[in-house]
Chain A
């Protein structure tokens, strides 16, 4: 049976839509209201409170913790400062991505790693012979994302942390009310935002403290639909949608390297890690694929719909299917997520493109189904993210 998260007692009565989905064995609200618009706008113009407890969380401790994580992650963990957070993927020996997540350096020899899929076995296999312990904290740690322009003020009000000095991808230990929490300046929205980690037993009280303290700042419980649109705007990958984890892929072609997912910046080829040799080779060859943004051309969209006497029908909820992308008659890639961006007022999509067609500004076409018929709409290749407000980092 799917379980409620530690916040379920609060989120369940709020979920007017009864629109639940499964996320890592938990119930997660797709949207609380009947449509997700208000929840989306909370992310971009107020503060959205999103239950992200279903993430897998591992606490790694020990004198070899850095060596161990450096072996697993493609990033240079030795260079991770105290109280820094790092985002990155990890790969199998063939250099194909297994999962991606954030790594929080909690102390000299202790870290918290989050992931979308269960990774305990992989972590343990790689920890063999090293002085580390790996604790699966997924059920005992509750997590909330507080995302949006007013999130800082809310947290400043309800906690004793000095958030004005907490930089992007850093963490602070604090108390909210009297609950001990870890606050990380991270999120999955591309906006100013935080994630708050606490003992699951304190979850309900933490929720109440945030909701009370955030009322006058427009705090809004938000579901996955709103989050999904925001993360597409932010150009952030979703596992299982934008890429298939290597250990679940049935065929080689379904696996992706970090280079093919736009994560080349997170790969430190000069240090030893699982997949290094394969990735070095790929880097020398140049990756076959790139992960890029597509902006659909409005006029072209209008035209393909006009054929049927329709105005363009826009995806307000992000779609998560594979959609062919063409250059002329040839298929040169496929888009894996797309939506109407309410903030940018553009139809955008995340796409895997053959390197030859991935240059910024390249004209391509994306398949659009209109009246049960396959049509092509013109699109332009752009760099990610689509939306990158200054406040995200400020």
Chain B
């Protein structure tokens, strides 16, 4: 292998593939190195049990950054996105249930079954969310302004941001600024009275963070999850036909067609730094590959603390990277089912099984779930978000059978006593099944196989520090120009020719492609 490359991308997560594709499109020779045997990172579909294919990482997409799809001709490479409708179905224990739909009228009708008042509030709330997310959307499409910088360019960026804010009009501007640092509880209590409605919306504000809905900033995360979605569609979800892994394959196909070389089973052990600049990488096994730029799709802690010799980094920078909060809180349970779950509050098959299934009966339920985690324990009653993709995509499971993936929160990476060993892993699986069985009692007998991925497994399998699904918590202190650390939000690093392109950079985690897209733009600006 004595080809020379302009750029090496460490990691074939969706963001890494996107950056690779764009950089190659600009004419650079790019090599992607992925430690696993398959591409996609946390956007993969794996046949865990014979005939049963699971999205072991992300199982739904809120929104892909639109220009990606056209620029990279992803449809030609096999990408097909399927909107879930209802977006979400939330059962309760008292026989109630709520579904939110893509058509706001349907949503309002559904809410009206529970509260006239809340039904009347819906459009107003949806409009507020649309205004706030509209503001975030413009922020997300560009690299974050360096708030600490005195450069004229950065001051302009700050001004432009202020300009966009002002364009909302005074009333709305104040309203948007007011809600950004709020708690999800405060925000939702201002608008609604129905517990299951508030719980189900509020769940979007806690996903992936070591906080409950009563923590400041959860309103922001709620908005973040809705950026770019159509007004009135809340807890939105798209699926990829064939599984999330098909997205990665489409991206890999696009990248290859642009000349990118992708090697799997290639584990980068070290970034080679020479004279203060990144000069290539060394693989586990000893192979060294030189390149003019090194772009890391691994999270910032992995990149700077594991792959780079610390003597190449400044004291203050290292301290900041060390202090990035990860605190993984999610686990994943994948069930191979012989039959569909039968929810007591809405028996039988129906459209409700085709949306997200959210166990989030109230905000209090979510906060209680967090209370346990706060003291280092698995939630007694965890928040669950499940999808049964085989309903819309029969190829994922043998005829008549189903796959169900469940995101579980809170399963804290750091346990009060002990570690995530086999018995705790089993206990986690049991806890999830028991919780689900309270709503759908047939679930236990429907299970043919069960896979449990604890936060420790997520770390080991996907290379996620502390099992954090977003490459660093999405809390207010770690966003925008503070992501990954203040002063280094432009995808670059204190080592010349080293870049980041993953979810640990602005605008953060989730399958959106935005970090990878922004990173490519910044890199190309500097490489030119």
Contact = CB atoms under 8 A, between A and B. Distances in A.
Contact of A93 (B311, B312, B316, B322): B316
Contacts of A130: 310-311
A125 B305 contact: no
Nearest to B314: A93
Interface string A111-144: 0000000000010011011100000000000000
Contacts of B310: 128-130
Interface residues of B, number: 12
Given A128-B322, A129-B310, A122 B305 contact: no
B528 interface: no
Contacts of A93: 314-316
Nearest to A130: B310
B526 interface: no
B21 to A, nearest CB: 33
Nearest to A121: B319
A272 interface: yes
Contact of B315 (A67, A272, A274): A274
A71 interface: yes
B318 interface: yes
Interface in B310-355: 310-312, 314-316, 318-319, 322
Nearest to B312: A272
Given A125-B319, A128-B322, A67 B311 contact: yes
Nearest to A71: B311
Contacts of A272: 276, 311-312
A125 B311 contact: no
Nearest to A126: B315
A214 to B, nearest CB: 44
A148 to B, nearest CB: 40
Contacts of B276: 272
B314 A274 contact: yes
Contacts of A122: 315
A152 to B, nearest CB: 40
A77 B318 CA distance: 22
Nearest to B310: A129
Contacts of A92: 315
B298 to A, nearest CB: 16
B436 to A, nearest CB: 43
A67 B311 CA distance: 8
Counting chain B CB atoms within 10 Å of each CB, which of A92, A122, A125, A128 scores highest? Answer: A128
Contacts of B319: 125, 128
Nearest to A272: B311
Nearest to B275: A272
A128 B301 CA distance: 13
A92 B316 CA distance: 9
Contacts of B312: 272
A146 B305 CA distance: 45
Nearest to B309: A129
A129 B305 contact: yes
Contacts of A125: 315, 318-319
Nearest to A93: B314
Contacts, number: 27
Dominant secondary structure at the B interface = helix
Nearest to A273: B311
Interface residues of A, number: 12
A130 B318 CA distance: 12
B69 to A, nearest CB: 40
A360 to B, nearest CB: 37
A89 to B, nearest CB: 15
A93 B312 CA distance: 12
A63 to B, nearest CB: 14
Contacts of B316: 93
A272 to B, nearest CB: 6
Interface string A78-99: 0000000000000011000000
B456 to A, nearest CB: 22
A272 B311 CA distance: 8
A128 B318 contact: yes
B454 to A, nearest CB: 26
A121 to B, nearest CB: 10
Contacts of A274: 314-315
Interface string B206-242: 0000000000000000000000000000000000000
Nearest to B305: A129
A128 B319 CA distance: 9
A67 B312 CA distance: 11
A387 to B, nearest CB: 37
A272 B319 CA distance: 18
A122 B319 CA distance: 10
Nearest to A276: B276
Contacts of A126: 315
Interface in A238-278: 272, 274
Contacts of A67: 311
Contacts of B311: 67, 71, 130, 272
B441 to A, nearest CB: 51
Contacts of B305: 128-129
Nearest to A68: B311
Contacts of A128: 305, 310, 318-319, 322
Counting chain A CB atoms within 10 Å of each CB, which of B311, B316, B318 scores highest? Answer: B311
A252 to B, nearest CB: 15
A151 to B, nearest CB: 39
A200 B319 CA distance: 34
A71 B322 CA distance: 18
B307 to A, nearest CB: 11
A22 B310 CA distance: 38
Interface in A20-79: 67, 71
A92 B318 CA distance: 13
Nearest to A64: B311
A274 B276 CA distance: 13
Counting chain A CB atoms within 10 Å of each CB, which of B305, B310, B312 scores highest? Answer: B310
A71 B312 CA distance: 9
A129 B316 CA distance: 14
B526 to A, nearest CB: 19
A99 B83 CA distance: 62
Nearest to B273: A272
Contacts of B322: 128
A184 to B, nearest CB: 28
Nearest to B304: A129
B389 to A, nearest CB: 41
A126 B311 CA distance: 8
B384 to A, nearest CB: 38
A359 to B, nearest CB: 35
Nearest to A274: B315
Interface string B277-318: 000000000000000000000000000010001111011101
A244 B346 CA distance: 73
A138 to B, nearest CB: 22
Nearest to A122: B315
B319 to A, nearest CB: 5
B318 to A, nearest CB: 5
A67 B310 CA distance: 10
Contacts of B318: 125, 128-129
Contacts of B314: 93, 274
A93 B322 CA distance: 18
A361 to B, nearest CB: 41
A115 B315 CA distance: 19
A130 B316 CA distance: 16
Interface of B: 276, 305, 309-312, 314-316, 318-319, 322
Interface of A: 67, 71, 92-93, 122, 125-126, 128-130, 272, 274
16 contacts: A67-B311, A71-B311, A92-B315, A93-B315, A93-B316, A122-B315, A125-B318, A126-B315, A128-B318, A129-B318, A130-B310, A130-B311, A272-B311, A272-B312, A274-B314, A274-B315
Given A125-B319, A129-B310, 7 more contacts: A93-B314, A93-B316, A128-B305, A128-B310, A128-B322, A129-B305, A130-B311
Closest 4 CB pairs of A and B: A129-B310, A71-B311, A93-B314, A125-B315
